Structure 1
Amino acid sequence: MMAIQRICLALLMLGSLPTLAQIATFTADRTRLPEERWFDGAVAAVNQATVSAQTSATVQELLFDVGDEVPAGAVILRLVSTEQREGLNQAEAALAEARAVLAVETPNQARSKDLLGRKLIPQSEYDAASGRLNAAEARVKNAEAALKAANQRLSYTEVRAPYGGVVSARHVEIGETVHPGTPLMSGFDPGIMRVEVDIPQAVAAQVRELMAARVIAGVDKAIVPERIILFPVADPSTSTVRVRLELPLENFGLYPGQFVKAAFTTGNTERLLVPAASIVHRSEVTGVYVIRDDRPQLRQVRIGGRFGDQIEILAGLEVGERITLDPIAAGILTGAREPD
């Protein structure tokens, strides 16, 4: 005897066999829902960049690697700074020398001006003193600019993250010599993502009118974009229009390059929906228990997409028919074998 039949017999002996009145039912009806067109899309990071060297040096220390989370402004890599520090020392010495000369020429020019006023020196001597003072002031300004540049070059030996994110690639090794423009590390901010989709021109007009979409990032995981941007041009080689879906500022576990599905609303349609709990899966057969002649009868159906806790029925069920919400109880009542 089959297992379910033995259960039915035991329940019958105990007087616990469920009755049809005890089984919850649902009357099939059509619900008006948005009609959607699905397309493949690719995830991209809004903040995604490759940090490059800005000075010539040797890699001394790598503080982060691929997959590490990096705070904004953190030092991610250090370069050997011997040459840059020597340049800074020279710039500081040059500035000190220029200021010393200025300290001498300033009172000299003041004395020359006083002597000229008392007609004790010729105009040419005063002009020479003024010229030396102007030259000393110019050398100080030049030395200050050189010191600022030297400090800037030294700062280039500590490479910092422009924003917080995750390291996606490391392009150098310790001991490697780099030059201005050499890629060092790449990263992205996982909290600010978007999806880019290419849709047919015919669909683009409907999308532009309704401006509604969902990003399907997994089973039962739909993300509503905060903003939908349609590019104002089409690709003549593919006859498609690119759409950019800006996702909310939240970490959804997506990463750049990941493929997802994008569902665009193109209109409205009526769908026959039933609760997902009423669906029976038996081997390769999918069905529901339909109430006919006051008895539940298993009927094969063809299902479509899932909408929350409901599933669309494409064929096998008509509007107004009643189905059971507890297929196990219905199977016990009819003596049918349910799948494990």
Structure 2
Amino acid sequence: MRAWQVTESGEPREVMRLVPDVPRPAAGPGQLLVRVRAAAVNFPDALMVRGQYQVRPPLPFTPGVELCGEVADGPRAGERVIGNPVLPGGAFAEYALLEAAAAFPAPGALDDAEAAALHIGYQTAWFALHRRAGLRPGETLLVHAAAGGVGSAAVQLGRAAGARVIAVVGGPEKASVARELGADLVVDRTAEDFPAAVREATGGRGADVVFDPVGGAAYAGSAKCVAFEGRIVVIGFASGEIPAPALGHALVKNYSILGLHWGLYNTRDPRAVRAAHEELTKLAEAGVVRPLVSDRLPLTGAAEAVQRVADGRSTGRVVVLGA
């Protein structure tokens, strides 16, 4: 089968190679062989290729941590599923393996590309907003990188939860995307001071919940405009800067700093992951949420797709389609 492989760490366009004759994987006990129909590109894919992610599969490996596929054989043959492939054989290939217990039915309301993009980003946003932050109707939710993959999911889920959503983006193109997603207020951080804009929009109160997959200056600014008893949920560090929070500031302002590593739920509480998938499926079937797929590329374009996400040049989700 054809599969992209990484034999050394580096920039995706430089170290990813499309190999035409990689052996097709064989399903072991409790696994499913799936034909990849679509693979959504995630920022962790870029970090993994660069050798900067907390998960470091042995070289050579095939990147791609999220897919929609069709079960190739066995009792579930023909079933359309979504999930995380078993590394080192990732989703940027014609076939991949999934753990059967973590292969979820793809929502019928979504096409392959949209279904592939529903899993990691929306699960992450769901757990951040509901499990960690306890977002309540009527609260103000501040979402950083709101036009990106996980940020766009947080905007939609925040709206679905009855929150007022303030979206922070970088540039007018991404501001337009955030407005289309339904954000109540969009702040272009390249043109205005987002903490001041948040304080003004909330009458000085600030944001009750902050969704931060960026870190760096985004976190520092969030600490300036988080509300009394607010919650800052740390999702990741797309900026490349890991903040060192001033805990004395959190103490005197009475706000919480919460971490979220969604992957841990797959091992610590898989039932919660399945329950979240069921809720997300209901929202998708009702038309309340729909992954924003900005680009659909053929398998041959996977390296460029990962590089685009790595460079922050994408909006919504970039998806690599199967053969």
Structure 1 and Structure 2 fold alike (TM over 0.5): no
Which one has a larger percent strand, Structure 1 or Structure 2? Answer: 1
TM-score normalised by length of structure 1:
0.20
TM-score normalised by length of structure 2:
0.21
Structure with bigger RCO (C-alpha 8 Å, 6+ apart) = 1
Higher Rg: 1
